[in-house]
Structure formats: C-alpha cells, structure tokens
Copies of this chain bind each other. A is one copy, B any other.
Amino acid sequence: MFKVNVMYPYTEGARFDHTYYRDRHMPMVKARLGNACAYYTIEKGLAGGAPGAPPAFVAMCAFICDSAEGYEAAIQEHRAEILGDITNYTDIVPVLQISEIVVERSDR
C-alpha cells in the first residue's frame, strides 16, 4: 500500500479554508481518483513540537492507494481540474511525498 501525502507548509499570513478543503476539494479529488484511491485522511495543524511553536504544516492530507502507478495514472487525467481548484482554498504551494505504508494501523 502507498500513501500520497500533500502537506501545506505553515506560512504566516497565508490563507487556508479548512471547510472548503474538507467539504469540496477532497471529496472532488476522491471522486476523480475513483478506485485508484482506497480512502483519504485530512488533518489540521495545531502546534509544533516546541512550546508556542506553529505547526510545520497548516494542513495535511493523504491518499491511501494500492499502487502508486494507479494513483499517477488517475491523477494525470484530472490534473487541470484538481490543480485549478487549489486557489479556491489556499495560496500555499503544497509539498508532495509518496510513501510506502509500513504499518497502516497498529491494532490490525
């Protein structure tokens, strides 16, 4: 299993609409990915490690997929629509990372 992480670095004064991201953007991306994505996760950054420090990322999401190639093929087809929607919720350029899932959930 693979995980495609999309991480939005915390930036002073930057804009991020968590409601739009949760209710509009992510469901739309999942609909376009179809079976290439098993499920997704979303989190909102609250704090960094040091007392009073901001989080490294204001928001992070992950697409959990059986195959990285399957994800790539599905996303390619809808890239323009997906990228075009980003300005509707943020002006932050996200960091992408593809990971191998080592432990999906420790109690399983």
Contacts and interface: CB of A to CB of B under 8 A. Distances in A.
Interface of A: 2-3, 5, 7, 18, 22, 26-27, 30, 38-49, 55-57, 60, 68, 95-107
Each complex incorporates copies of this chain amounting to 2
A99 B43 contact: yes
Contact of A97 (B2, B40, B45, B107): B45
Main secondary structure of the interface of A (DSSP, over half): strand
20 contacts: A2-B46, A3-B43, A22-B103, A26-B103, A38-B107, A39-B106, A39-B107, A40-B103, A41-B105, A43-B99, A43-B102, A44-B102, A46-B98, A47-B97, A47-B98, A48-B95, A48-B96, A48-B97, A48-B98, A49-B96
